[in-house]
Amino acid sequence: MDTQKIVAFVEPSFYGIDFVERAYQKGCTVIAIGSSKDNPKIYGYENYFHDFLIADIRDPKLIYNAIKDSIYDEKIDALIPATDYASHYTAEVAEWLDLPTVPSVAAYTARNKDSARIVYKKYNVPSARFAKVSSLEEACESAQSIGYPVVLKPTNCASSQGVFFINNKEAMVQAFHKLREFKKTYMGFDVSRDYLVEEYLEGPEFSVEFFLKDKEIIFSSVTEKETSDLPFFVETSHTVPASVHFNRQEELVEVGSKAVRAIGIDNGPSHVELKLTNSGPKIIEVNGRPGGDQISSQLLVNTYGWDIFEETVNFYLGLPINEYFPFKKATSIAYLTAPKNGIISNISGIEHLKTNPSVIKYGVSIRPGSAVKVPESSDDRLGYVITTSSNSKDAKNKATELINLIHLDYA
């Protein structure tokens, strides 16, 4: 960079921490915008920013005012969403400031699953049959019309929060009442009082990681997924590239790209979740951001040597984007979950992770005395191991074997 660029990030957290680190390491002046000055320490980026602006990120006008009232007014080169929940607000503010951005209407559509389903239907993107409901009566009627089993979910949440597998009316009644009690999600965002009842899609799950430049795909990669047993949908492993259904991966990319374009995302990263059904790939959802769960920060980087976070920062700054990413190796992550509810008295098997040459990263977030439960959302996972190998099946097997060696004793 000829001159030092000023890059602002809205509430860096989870996958967004990688954005902050990359911009900081590029020599940019990094400004974080968030609801509390405690957040850099809470989310773990206290060493990767230069200044902090306080704003309620649930209101785009307050984000805008925080920038306009600061010394950075008309000096910011890029404004980047660093949390999924504020992505559409960030895009809206960037438009007001005449900065590069994904169209705010596209960010809003990706963020709100009911709007996305309407767009998929309009543009003939293969996806689940659905109904938007706001009452138990509507939910039961829609489930009957679609046909059990169905999925009940909020329209604006993430990480499998509030997602229920429903196979009869009694289960719908119980789940709907429970969902009504789920009122706040991450960072104080309101859970919508409208919900989706969707056809349950049978088949293996995948995601496709995309990067678009002027509507053209310059990067795509299929991620193989494993999920927990029903009735929950917690992701328990990811493998890049996918080790199965090689002859169907072009279809997954094609349907995923059709969904991205239908929503209106024409530049930057996106993370598209699909199921490969008997009638072909069908969309679960599109996220206008890099894939989380260390898919982008570890799996893509290790597999291709290509950093989607750095390239996204380059896109927002108008810098050249690397379009060369040869396959180098395969990478897999497996998550530690609790087989039952209880209090942990001892954890064993971690020593295997420390010495295994295929392990590139691991972490365990619990200790003796921790309360654990059978996972209902991604928040309930307890640790992970990331392994690498020359091929996907071997990487996945190693990750699975190593995570299964960790044993939890209950008090």
pLDDT band at 287 (very low <50, low <70, confident <90, very high): very high
Task: Check residue 289 and report its DSSP letter.
Answer: S
- Collapse the DSSP code of 75 into the 3-class scheme (helix H, G, I; strand E, B; otherwise coil) and give the result: coil
Q: Is the pLDDT of residue 98 over 90?
A: yes
Summarised one tens digit per residue, pLDDT across range 290-323 is 999 999 999 999 999 999 999 999 999 999 999 9
Asked if the domains 6-101 and 129-199 are classified in one and the same CATH topology, the answer is no
Q: Into which CATH architecture does domain 129-199 fall?
A: 2-Layer Sandwich (3.30)
What's residue 189's pLDDT?
85
Element (DSSP H or E) covering residue 23: helix 16-25
Burial class (CB in 10 A: 0-12, 13-18, 19+), 92: buried
Both tokens assigned to 301? 């980087």
Q: Which two tokens stand for residue 328?
A: 């180098």
Question: pLDDT for 376-395, tens place per residue?
Answer: 989 899 999 999 999 999 99
Residue 2's pLDDT band, with cuts at 50, 70 and 90, is: low
Rg (C-alpha) for the chain, rounded Å, is: 21
Predicted confidence at residue 1, as pLDDT, reads 53
Q: Could you report the per-residue pLDDT of 61-84, keeping only the tens digit for each?
A: 999 999 999 999 999 999 999 999
Q: Say how far apart CA 172 and CA 36 lie, in whole Å.
A: 38
**Model confidence, pTM:** 0.93
Q: Domain 330-410: which CATH class? A: alpha beta
User: To which CATH superfamily is domain 205-317 assigned?
Assistant: ATP-grasp fold, B domain (3.30.470.20)
H/E run at residue 92: helix 87-96
DSSP 142-156: HHHHH-SSEEEEESS
Q: What is the pLDDT at residue 3?
A: 74
Q: Are strands 342-348 and 407-410 parallel, antiparallel or unpaired?
A: antiparallel
Burial of 408 (0-12, 13-18, 19+ CB in 10 A): buried
Give the mean pLDDT of the chain: 94
The residue ranges of every structural domain in the chain are 6-101, 129-199, 205-317, 330-410
CATH class of 6-101: alpha beta
CA nearest to 300, candidates 239, 356, 378: 239
